[in-house]
């Protein structure tokens, strides 16, 4: 599968009203294919995270369309959109947002539990994904007992446990040291990305640029071009 995974057309998003109105996205056009790991890079305040939120169905644009596998996600009712996110999109947040009161395996199983899967079955499947990210032995520990890199890997296992078609990473290496960040992204490229999946990464960490399929630059609410992927 190497068709168009996601296509955004004329996406506009603003915040505030009147004189305080800020145009965050100014008519963006975007396309990504399955099998790609697309980076969106740019300075803080350029609208990267806003754009990622619009693409992943959690922030409604003022105008424009977002087609995911051909479906216009912003024409969906709220519950249908929530179900779409649950089944099609995996999220890795900048601060991971793991539940400190749950064990690592329970954190990983959350998307399956939200899909109304049996609890024990969900945990069994989650354990398999923890094995993939190399944390099987730490399955019963709470996230606070894990290092930053390990927590990031738990967040990744939570994102992929439901086998989503799209993964969105928001500043995945912001809280990690250089080597750990690189190893995490290398792991994602080697073990998570495949030709049935599309990954979009928002970052301004140039140390991980080498793992991108494409790098798009963004500035002042617009995609301004591409930059070469370092060898």
Partner 1 sequence: MKGIFRLAFKLLVNDKAKFSALIVGITFAVFLMVQMTSLFAGILDHSSSTVLNVGATMWVMDPSVQTVANSIGMPDYVLDAVRSIPGVKFAAPLYSGVALLKLPDGAWQAATVIGLDDSTLFGRPELIRGKIQDIYAENAFIAVYDSEFKKLGNPQIGSELQINDHRARIVGIAKVNVSSLFGLPTLYTTYYRALQYIPNPRFTISYVLVEPKTPRDIPAIKKAVAKIGYRAVTKSEFIGMISAFYKYQTGIGTNILIMTVISFLVGLSISGQTFYTFIIENLEKFGALKAIGATNNELVAMILFQAAFTSLTGYGLGIGLCTLLVTLAKVRLPSYASMITYFNLAVAFVMVLFIAGFSSYVGVRRVLRIEPFDIFRS
Q: String of b and e for 143-174 (b: at least 16 CB within 10 Å)? A: beebeebbbbbbbbbbbbbbebbbbbbbbbbe
Per CB under 8 A, 114 contacts partner 1: yes
Of 67 and 86, the one with the shorter C-beta distance to partner 1 is 86
Nearest to 187 by CA among 215, 155, 227: 155
User: Binding partner 1 by CB under 8 A: which of 106, 125, 150, 205?
Assistant: 106
Of 140 and 226, the one with the shorter C-beta distance to partner 1 is 140
Of 12 and 83, the one with the shorter C-beta distance to partner 1 is 83
Task: Compute the least distance from the CB of residue 133 to partner 1, in Å.
Answer: 18
From the list 33-41, 100-108, 124-132, 184-192, the region that binds partner 1 by CB under 8 A is 100-108
Residues 26-55 that bind partner 1 (CB under 8 A): 49-50, 52-53
Beta-carbon contacts of residue 33 (< 8 Å; ≥ 6 apart) = 2, 3, 4, 5, 198
Handedness of CA 27, 28, 31, 32 (dihedral sign): negative
Interatomic CA distance for residues 223 and 181, integer angstroms: 25
Per CB under 8 A, 97 contacts partner 1: yes
Q: Which helix (H) or strand (E) holds 54?
A: helix 48-55
Per CB under 8 A, 19 contacts partner 1: no
User: Binding partner 1 by CB under 8 A: which of 10, 62, 101, 178?
Assistant: 101
From the list 29-37, 80-88, 176-184, 218-226, the region that binds partner 1 by CB under 8 A is 80-88
Residues 135-174 that bind partner 1 (CB under 8 A): 170
User: Binding partner 1 by CB under 8 A: which of 87, 175, 213, 217?
Assistant: 87
Could you tell me how many residues of this chain bind partner 1 (CB under 8 A)?
35
Beta-carbon contacts of residue 114 (< 8 Å; ≥ 6 apart) = 86
Q: Which residues bind partner 1 (CB under 8 A)?
A: 49-50, 52-53, 56, 58-59, 78-79, 82-87, 89, 91, 93-95, 97, 99, 101-102, 106, 110-111, 113-114, 116-119, 122, 170
């Amino acid at each position: 599968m190497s068709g168009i995974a996601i296509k955004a057309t004329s996406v506009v998003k603003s915040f505030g009203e009147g004189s305080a109105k800020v145009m965050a996205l100014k008519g963006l056009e975007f396309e990504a294919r399955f099998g790609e790991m697309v980076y969106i890079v740019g300075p803080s305040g350029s609208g990267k995270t806003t754009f990622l939120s619009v693409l992943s169905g959690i922030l409604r644009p003022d105008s424009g369309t977002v087609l995911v596998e051909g479906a216009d996600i912003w024409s969906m009712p709220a519950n249908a959109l929530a179900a779409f996110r649950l089944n099609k999109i995996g999220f890795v947040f900048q601060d991971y947002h793991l539940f400190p009161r749950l064990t690592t395996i329970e954190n990983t199983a959350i998307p399956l539990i939200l899909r109304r899967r049996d609890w024990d079955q969900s945990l069994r499947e989650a354990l398999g994904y923890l094995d993939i990210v190399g944390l099987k032995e730490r399955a019963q520990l709470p996230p606070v007992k894990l290092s930053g890199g390990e927590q990031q890997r738990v967040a990744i296992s939570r994102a992929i446990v439901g086998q989503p078609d799209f993964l969105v990473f928001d500043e995945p290496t912001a809280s990690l040291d250089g080597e750990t960040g690189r190893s995490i992204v290398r792991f994602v490229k080697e073990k998570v990305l495949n030709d049935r999946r599309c990954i979009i990464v928002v970052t301004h960490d140039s140390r991980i640029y080498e793992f991108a399929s494409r790098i798009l630059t963004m500035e002042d609410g617009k995609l301004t071009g591409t930059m070469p992927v370092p060898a």
